[in-house]
Amino acid sequence: MGTGHFFWVIFYFASLCSASLANNAKINFREKEKKVLDQILGAGKYDARIRPSGLNGTDGPAIVRINLFVRSIMTISDIKMEYSVQLTFREQWTDERLKFDDIQGRLKYLTLTEANRVWMPDLFFSNEKEGHFHNIIMPNVYIRIFPNGSVLYSIRISLTLACPMNLKLYPLDRQICSLRMASYGWTTNDLVFLWKEGDPVQVVKNLHLPRFTLEKFLTDYCNSKTNTGEYSCLKVDLLFKREFSYYLIQIYIPCCMLVIVSWVSFWLDQGAVPARVSLGVTTLLTMATQTSGINASLPPVSYTKAIDVWTGVCLTFVFGALLEFALVNYASRSGSNKANMHKENMKKKRRDLEQASIDAASDLLDTDSNATFAMKPLVRHPGDPLALEKLRQCEVHMQAPKRPNCCKTWLSKFPTRQCSRSKRIDVISRITFPLVFALFNLVYWSTYLFRDEEDE
């Protein structure tokens, strides 16, 4: 009897378990969801035109909490002053009219894909230029309704937003691009937007931008008052730092090379006119083309940018090298003309001296009527070169010795004759141009690299 009784007990418990499993298998929770949706959203039971009540069922404004997930930042355009971003946008609020029974915790939430079935905040992006939803393969949007009446709205969108930029420090600048969200029709008496507590803005890891780096982002409030009332507003400030390595390789180093190449003409012979002219004109045109290409990728602003200072000074140096050759050529031609005139004068004086010596000899050979020689004093002519040379030697011996000057000693290697002025201009330019350009670099980089953050 003991064994039979134990057998019937096991059989009884097994039948109970199978019955409970059969009852659970018969329950279709999807059908339960349909019934709940029909119950809370049926005709005449819910009006999506009426906003939810305030906190704790009061008549205050509806509170909507917002958070964002930045998926990618595609482009940041300087010339259009805009940027494109793709993000997952989420809103969460409480609508007590949507409360339902969760069947002992088995219905965690209800899911909808039609936003017009429930009340939605009239949020819009105030600095939006263009935007679109994503509908591949299905619309990337859902609405979740929780048992306590909490509603979560999530959607994936792509936006092109305006970003006013200050390019005075370009390309050593930082830019702040904002994302502004505000209510279009509901005032703060009816609707208030708040950032979700904790982490309201999230950014995808390993976010790569071609010419910028996202340094940080800040959340803030930007409520606006108009003649129709005060409207709730939220904003996100994205701080972008421009990558300088691209501009260093593409702009600054080539400009330096062009300026240095223009200095090669200082080392060419002053008679090599075609070579020096070709070098100067080629570097000038190349520098002008480089400047035009840079300005073509930027908006026409009314102020001077850092890149304008650099290209303008580099263009001035290249143009100065071309003007230096014009000065050298003029000095060379002027010196040769004066040298020719000096030679002609020397030849004329030599002829005059020869004629004077002949006249003196003829006077010595003349005799008067008494057969006596007419003697004339042998006085040296004032313009005689020999007398001038002796006088100069005497003056040199009489002058007191002076201390040597390094600059004068270096310049004394090039005589002061007119034909050597062109050579002296070239030698001075070889030293002056690099020194002035090095001084400009020192001032430029110390000004723009070590500036205060407040100036930015």
The span from the CA of 223 to the CA of 191, in Å, is: 12
- Domain-embedded: residue 159: yes
Domain range for 326: 247-336+431-451
DSSP3 helix / strand / coil % (the chain, rounded to 5): 45, 25, 30
Same domain, 132 and 213: yes
Strand 229-231 relative to strand 224-226: parallel, antiparallel, unpaired? antiparallel
Strand 233-242 relative to strand 110-112: parallel, antiparallel, unpaired? unpaired
Closest CA relative to residue 417, chosen from 346, 325, 340: 340
- Domain-embedded: residue 356: no
Closest CA relative to residue 64, chosen from 55, 75, 76, 77: 55
Q: What are the two backbone dihedrals, phi and then psi, of residue 90, each rounded to the nearest 5 degrees?
A: -130, 140
- Domain-embedded: residue 396: no
The per-residue pLDDT of the chain, averaged, comes to: 81
Domain end (from 180, 214, 242) = 242
Q: What is the mean pLDDT of residues 67-77?
A: 93
Please tell me the total count of domains within the chain.
2
Higher pLDDT, 189 or 19: 189
- Amino acid occupying residue 89: F
Domain end (from 242, 269, 289) = 242
Same domain, 225 and 194: yes
Over the stretch 377-418, which tens digit does the pLDDT of each residue have? Answer: 444 455 555 554 554 554 545 455 556 566 556 555 554 454
Q: Taking the alpha carbons of 287, 290, 296, 297 in that order, is the dihedral positive or negative?
A: negative
- Domain-embedded: residue 387: no
Residue 10 pLDDT class (50, 70, 90 cuts): low
Residue 353 pLDDT class (50, 70, 90 cuts): confident
- Domain-embedded: residue 73: yes
Q: The domain that contains 438 carries what CATH number? A: 1.20.58.390
pLDDT at 27 (0 to 100): 60
Q: At what angle do helices 253-262 and 273-296 cross, to 10 degrees?
A: 160
The percent of residues in the chain predicted with pLDDT above 90, rounded, is 46
Q: What is the mean pLDDT of residues 233-238?
A: 96
Domain end (from 212, 242, 272) = 242
Q: Which helix (H) or strand (E) holds 246?
A: helix 244-247
Q: With 70 as the cut, is the pLDDT of residue 289 above it?
A: yes
Same domain, 218 and 260: no
- Domain-embedded: residue 291: yes
pLDDT at 174 (0 to 100): 93
Higher pLDDT, 345 or 74: 74
- Helices assigned H by DSSP within 299-420: 306-365, 385-398, 406-411
Q: Are 231 and 99 in contact (CB under 8 A)?
A: no
pLDDT at 410 (0 to 100): 52
Spacing of C-alpha 52 from chain mean position: 47
- Amino acid occupying residue 355: Q
Over the stretch 415-429, which tens digit does the pLDDT of each residue have? Answer: 445 447 778 888 898
- Domain-embedded: residue 152: yes
